[in-house]
Structure 1
Amino acid sequence: MTTDIQPTDSGAAGPGTATGTAVLEATGVTKKFGGLTAVKNVDLRVNSGEIVGLIGPNGAGKTTFFNCLTGLYVPTEGTVSYKGTVLPHQSHLVTKAGIARTFQNIRLFANMTVLENVLVGRHTRTKEGLWSALLRGPGFKKAEKESEARAMELLEFTGLAGKRDHLARNLPYGEQRKLEIARALASDPGLLLLDEPTAGMNPQETRTTQDLVFAIRDQGIAVLVIEHDMRFIFNLCDRVSVLVQGEKLVEGTAEVVQADERVVAAYLGTPYEGAPGAEEVSEVEAAEAHSTAGTEGDTK
């Protein structure tokens, strides 16, 4: 994990680009696994035109919180709203509403082509049903053509158009990450959630991913991103929210977060007043890992 939280060359995100209109509003979100509380009373707002970062040490509850936002988990308490409407607790309905996500562990269809993977992401935006698909009438053919055109636009956008017919499993790691983002964008979201998009990347790939996220924001899509690379986060985000032991510790600009002594303590492992013990942290990490493993099917 990258723990360098020294000041960076921030400002690239363009503070002030957000409109102030809430795209996502999470209120009092709590998630318990038996007697363990992985996320506790977390509030988070993402505005239109904004890139927000979510950081914290391992076991802080970041991915559990993401899963509550996207319908993979039902929050024990609290609500999640998208553009003022409370979301259902079903992931496909959350996607249909306008929220898309990527995963910490790449979940592509490995034996499908690049183009086919993006077309899978279009399913929430097509209206043709089973009989239309079986009969392959004019309506189905028109929808199929429109979906392919949109998929190719996204492959151009992410720099993958030249590999449309390659199998996903044959792409380099960095391009697999891009493909997962392209597939998420295929649902035409208003909010994109990225779970550690630069994990395992070299500096050049990380810079390319940063430019891609800026380009997504410039398309009018708000972004919420989990990441361990602090330099990436602080250069990218308008605001950063810090989770520690499932609770929001602080939220603000890169400068505010970097200056908070509790954040430094949390990353360096230095105890501060009210900090959880190592045993509590390891218990929540184990609960998160077990529950997340249960939700991730094998798509290879």
Structure 2
Amino acid sequence: MLILDENKLSSFLGSIAQGLVISPFQLFLLILFLAAFIFFLIWFYRHQHKKVLSLKIKYSQKLYDKYIDKFQLNPSETELIEKLTTFIRDRDTSKHQIFASQRIFNLCASKLLAADSSVSQSAIAALRVKLGFTLKDRESNIHSTAELPEKLKLYVLQGKLRRFKGTITGIVPGALAVRLEDDKIPPASGSNITVVFQRKNGIFSFRSHVIKLEGGTIYIAHSEQIKLTQKRKYYRKNISLPLLIRVAGSSEKVVQSRFLDLGGGGASIVNPEKRFKQGDDVELIFYISREERISIIGEVIRTSRNGDIMHVSFETIRESVRDRIIGFILSYSESVSK
């Protein structure tokens, strides 16, 4: 049986406790050591961070200089790039991203144009062309005419009455080259114009001017202000225009009506005496000029306002006729022409 001597045990524990007692001087040294250690850790972190930051800055500048040489930028273009980089977050370590990221370029370009009126849109667009920034797909947001693809069909509007259909044949740093398909006298050099084009995600327009003419090709100054006009497949405009209408293929007399809106894909029309209903195929006859008459077949897809309005789809019309309708309403449209 184990018998503990209480006096000896108490003496043993007391000696241990006495050994753990720290003098004020020893406590001071301990605190001083901990403070020095913490200071060393902070210094080491800051030193390493500064070293890494310096390496990042040098790396970014090295890439930046390589891009300048790669794209053979002249002094004015280099100056413009420098202005653009001022809007990059963490510019010192990321300025090379202006060449590598189209998203960053777009963001910086929009901010620079808003902040500095001395910077021209054509200079920004010319830089886009030189850096090779183009649209990735048909649904991407568009920021500049320099991103438009070749062979894109578009309409050139001059004032309220003159309209021209054309096709982009080339993108050069200073302009869009557009081949006009009409035999009309083209807009003169220096003319202010509005250009309208269609993409998968809507109808877009921009204002610009003609730089020069070469045969049937006009060169249009680039723009960085592209406006989404409508989110629909074909352009449509509120318009009050008389027309004649009857059931397609019938010998009945035509009745008078009028358009409430008209577009390349359909129209809203006053339903005379509520005689037409959903599913009817109807023949529409109207004039887009004194000499130009259009006759098309459409389908009533629905009615509204108690049958007083019918909505007609133009799904089966020829594309050449659709182009004539779109061209007419574009020139008719006050909102686009102004």
- Please tell me the TM-score bracket, short chain as reference: under 0.3
What TM-score comes out, normalization by structure 2 length?
Answer: 0.24
Question: Larger C-alpha radius of gyration, 1 or 2?
Answer: 2
Bigger RCO (CA 8 Å, 6+ sep): 1
What TM-score comes out, normalization by structure 1 length?
Answer: 0.26
